[in-house]
Amino acid sequence: MRVGVVDLGTNSTRLLVADVDGEEVEEVSRRTTITRLGEGVDERRKLLPLPIARVRNVLSDYRRELEELGVERVLAIGTSALRDADNGEAFLGEIEWSYGFATRLLSGEEEAALTRRGVANGRTLNGGTLVLDVGGGSTELITADRQTSLDVGSVRLTERHLHRDPPARDELEAAARTVRDALPPLQAEDAIGVAGTVTTLAALELGGYDPERVHSHRLSRGAVEAQLERLASLPLAERQELPGLEPERAPVIVGGAIVVREVLDRYGLEALEASERDLLHGAAFEAAQLPEAAEGDAPPGAYTCC
């Protein structure tokens, strides 16, 4: 079955089109657009009009691609920003009615479980593997027997602590301290990192973004530290010119890199492996289980939330 998954993330809006056959997900198309839906949510607890407009514009484009590729089921998932925003569920209702997507607001634990399932697609994870998902608003720590969602992420840390350009030493230390204070005790033998922060750090080390090279690339703790020091020393305009770093991700990449470094340090891990398989791939299994939509279920513009 051909399915589509839309991830309404804090920093980016992502699309996966995939063919699901039993326990296998075969990627057909994937897109990522930086939309900063969670802009201001940490402070105001509300989705703001401009980020909402950015997401809606992207979803119109994504829906055209879904139709062109013959997708049978579409699931749009909401994560940290939508969990935290008072109007998050209302926004999901608007998405469902305006675009015809089934929607689901994931708890942190559900997000973690689907991420691990996506990472495990096509491979076997041992019990000591930590899956690290650094998002814009939250960070998920996932092992075989534990799923923890932390309210720290690249956007949230940036908005709370990293105000100068480039960030000052005291700002960097405050952000790192926030992450350290949030990390729980756990045991891990190795780590796999997913989502934009980790794949961007891998692309920066490789000198450019190539998904086939990024997938399974091992980032040493020393390499993460070196990239963090490099990124934090550059003003935003220079970070935006770096090969492998999307210009739209440049404002929050320092915050994301701090999370990765602190996780490796806290759990004594010498490296982590970057994975291009993540939450999207796990959610594809859920999309395949959706009932067939009845014609006329979602008239465009029938509901407006914000």
Say if CB 119 and CB 125 are below 8 A apart.
yes
Residues of the chain with CATH 3.30.420.40: 2-108+281-288
Query: What pLDDT is attached to residue 272?
Result: 95
Instruction: Tell me the pLDDT tens digit for each residue of 224-279.
Output: 999 999 999 999 999 999 999 999 999 999 999 999 999 999 999 999 999 999 99
Q: Is the pLDDT of residue 298 over 70?
A: no
Candidates 3.30.70.100, 2.60.120.10, 3.30.1490.100, 3.30.420.150; CATH matching 123-276: 3.30.420.150
CATH of region 2-108+281-288: 3.30.420.40
Q: State the Cα–Cα distance between residues 133 and 247, nearest whole angstrom.
A: 21
Q: What mean pLDDT is predicted for residues 173-188?
A: 95
Q: How far apart are CA 8 and CA 79, in angstroms?
A: 7
Instruction: Report the alpha-carbon distance of residue 147 to residue 7 in Å, rounded.
Output: 19
Per DSSP, 275 falls in state E
Q: Which residues pair with 147 in a beta bridge?
A: 142
Q: What percent of the chain has pLDDT over 70?
A: 95
- Indicate the pTM of the whole model: 0.86
Round the average pLDDT of the chain to a whole number and report it. Answer: 92
Contact 79, 195 (CB under 8 A): no
**CA dist list (Å): 51 to 41, 56, 177:** 10, 9, 29
Q: What are phi and psi of 279, to 5 degrees?
A: -55, -40
Report whether 287 contacts 20 (CB < 8 A): yes
Tens digits of residue pLDDT in 81-136: 899 999 999 999 999 999 999 999 999 889 888 999 999 987 888 888 999 999 98
Strands 147-150, 12-21: parallel, antiparallel or unpaired by DSSP? unpaired
Q: How confident is the model at residue 192 (pLDDT cuts 50, 70, 90)?
A: very high
Cα distance between residue 266 and residue 264, in whole Å: 6
Q: Where do you find CATH 3.30.420.150 in the chain?
A: 123-276
User: Using an 8 Å Cβ cutoff, are 46 and 87 in contact?
Assistant: yes
Which phi and psi (to 5°) does residue 142 adopt? -130, 120
Q: pLDDT higher for 297 or 182?
A: 182
User: Does 299 have pLDDT greater than 50?
Assistant: no
Pick left, alpha or beta for residue 80 (phi over 0 → left; psi -120 to 50 → alpha; otherwise beta): alpha
Residue 268, C-beta contacts closer than 8 angstroms, at least 6 positions apart: none
- Give the phi and the psi of residue 137 in degrees, each rounded to 5: -105, -25
